[in-house]
Chain A
Amino acid sequence: MKYFNIEYISMATGLFLFLVGLWGIISQKNIIKIIISFSVLDTSIHLILVSIGYIRNKTAPIIDGVVSKTDAATKIVDPLPQALVLTAIVIGVGVTALMLTYALRMYSENKTLEINKYKSLKW
């Protein structure tokens, strides 16, 4: 049963979370809820990327007592997706803070969080 391995399970979880986050973004009316859905979507993409880089029965990409310099290529998982996710997490918190600031500004202009009641972009 190949789907019982941990990389398949975590990738399926990531895909389900992606769908839930996308559903939240397009169906919710409250602007804070939209930002929360965005953060769920963010986490799901990190999960998918890390599970793509996983290779069964191999260990973390750090040279120490277990992994020596010479046999590193046969003993470690893929370090490249991990490096990409590491930067993506920090960018994610910055973008979330920026969106929250815009939400705060919209709230102080319009006194409501419902995006249907924002009149400034309608014509």
Chain B
Amino acid sequence: MMYSLIIIVMSLIMLVMAFMAIHHKNLQVAVIASGIISLFASVIYIFLAAPDVAITEASIGSALTVVIFFYVLNKIRQSDDTK
């Protein structure tokens, strides 16, 4: 029962973050919102008895992907500046 309430709260946060990731004007905020979705998903995997998937998602989905996005965004911003 307690677990269900925790998961409902996290699901609502994930849905809000998903709308923010798609409709926010600022690309950096959108990328961070998609990273937060992965982070909360990894907490839900712990409740679903999948520790392997949870730690892999936490390190790859919410850290490495965001870093790769930021490398590309930084490159695009640099090209904007010199134009």
Interface residues of A (CB under 8 A from B): 4-7, 9-10, 12-13, 16-17, 20-21, 23-24, 28, 30, 32-33, 35-37, 39-40, 43, 46-47, 50-51, 53-54, 58-62, 77, 82, 85-86, 89-90, 92-93, 96-97, 100-101, 103-104, 107-108, 111, 113
Q: Smallest distance from the beta carbon of B5 to chain A beta carbons, Å?
A: 9
Contact B79 A107 (CB under 8 A): yes
Interface residues of B (CB under 8 A from A): 1, 3-4, 7-8, 11, 14-15, 18-19, 21-22, 27, 30-31, 34, 37-38, 41, 44-45, 47-53, 56-57, 60-61, 64-65, 68-69, 72-73, 75-76, 79, 83
Q: Smallest distance from the beta carbon of A112 to chain B beta carbons, Å?
A: 10
Interface SS of B by simple majority: helix
Interface SS of A by simple majority: helix
